[in-house]
Amino acid sequence: MKLTLTPLSNIPLIQIGDPLAKIILSSLHENEIRLHDGDIIVIAQKIVSKSEGRMVDLSSINPSPDANKLATRSEKKPQLVELILRESRSVLRVRPGTIIVEHRLGFICANAGIDHSNVAGNGTETKEWVLLLPENPDYSANMIRREMEKTTGARLGVLIIDSHGRAWRMGTVGVAIGLSGLPGLVDLRGKPDLYGYTLRITQVGAADELAAAASLIMGQAAEGTPVVHVRGFPYPLQEGELKEIIRPKDQDMFR
């Protein structure tokens, strides 16, 4: 098995309304990559959010009383806390500098995934601008996939990723927040292991594993490589969605 991940060069700075599928196809052509059946395109959340206009100017936000109270506890700007509350189903933990929430998309993350870094609004660099996660990352991934498949005729997968911390370990890793055309979870229960024993528990978080690998190539700061082409994914492509990999509340022992 050979798994190849290739960062795409020449992806421009993305603006509101930019056609990501066409931009990615153009970059693939410039990088002399012809899409094959089974290939996957991994895309950083940030450029999806930018193309969808998910930038918000904090000065335009009027914080609620709840946001003001939580801002005191978390030592964050009330306007930012208001956005965190709007993007979340519930607040799970609070400490100075961090608010852990259940995002409205269902996963647990810090500060509702709202990002200050590498964000510019209306062409002006300012820390007053923040970037929200895409409204519906599965839908975004599906639309990009459908357009690329229509143009190329290849059977593809598209994965949108973000960087999250983990409850048990230090450091952020790339994780899937939206997917189309590939499995989020691969169920190996009932399969034999190397010695013939039947697996009873193992389910592979395939989308997250690929997200982590692609994130290594994209980088976490100013590397400017928000799209990665993948060839050799070791599982068959199939329809998938984010909810596959979100642990149900009744199985979550750590909330």
pLDDT, one tens digit for every residue, the chain (255 residues): 799 999 998 899 999 999 999 999 999 999 999 999 999 999 999 999 999 999 999 999 999 999 999 999 999 999 999 999 999 999 999 999 999 999 999 999 999 999 876 566 554 555 689 999 999 999 999 999 999 999 999 999 999 999 998 888 899 999 999 999 999 998 755 566 555 665 556 678 899 999 999 999 997 654 579 999 999 999 999 999 999 999 888 888 877
3-state SS, residue 119? coil
CA-CA-CA-CA dihedral for 163, 167, 168, 170, to nearest 10: 40
Spatial contact of 219 and 212, defined as CB atoms under 8 Å apart: no
Interhelix angle 65-74/78-86, rounded to 10 degrees, is 110
Give which of 10, 38, 5, 4 is closest to 24, Cα–Cα.
Answer: 10
236 in the Ramachandran plot: left (φ > 0), alpha (ψ -120 to 50) or beta?
beta
Neighbouring C-alpha atoms within 13 Å toward the C-beta of 242: 21
220: DSSP letter: S
pTM score: 0.90
167: DSSP letter: S
Q: Degrees (nearest 5) of the Cα angle 134, 136, 142?
A: 110
CA distance 118 to 211: 20
Give the phi and the psi of residue 120 in degrees, each rounded to 5. -130, 135
CATH number of 55-131: 3.90.1660.10
Structure token digits, residue 161? 């990723």
Q: Where are the domains positioned within the chain?
A: 4-52+136-237, 55-131
In the block, tokens 């357009």 appear at 147
Spatial contact of 41 and 158, defined as CB atoms under 8 Å apart: yes
Q: Which CATH class is domain 4-52+136-237?
A: alpha beta
Whole-number pLDDT of residue 189 = 53
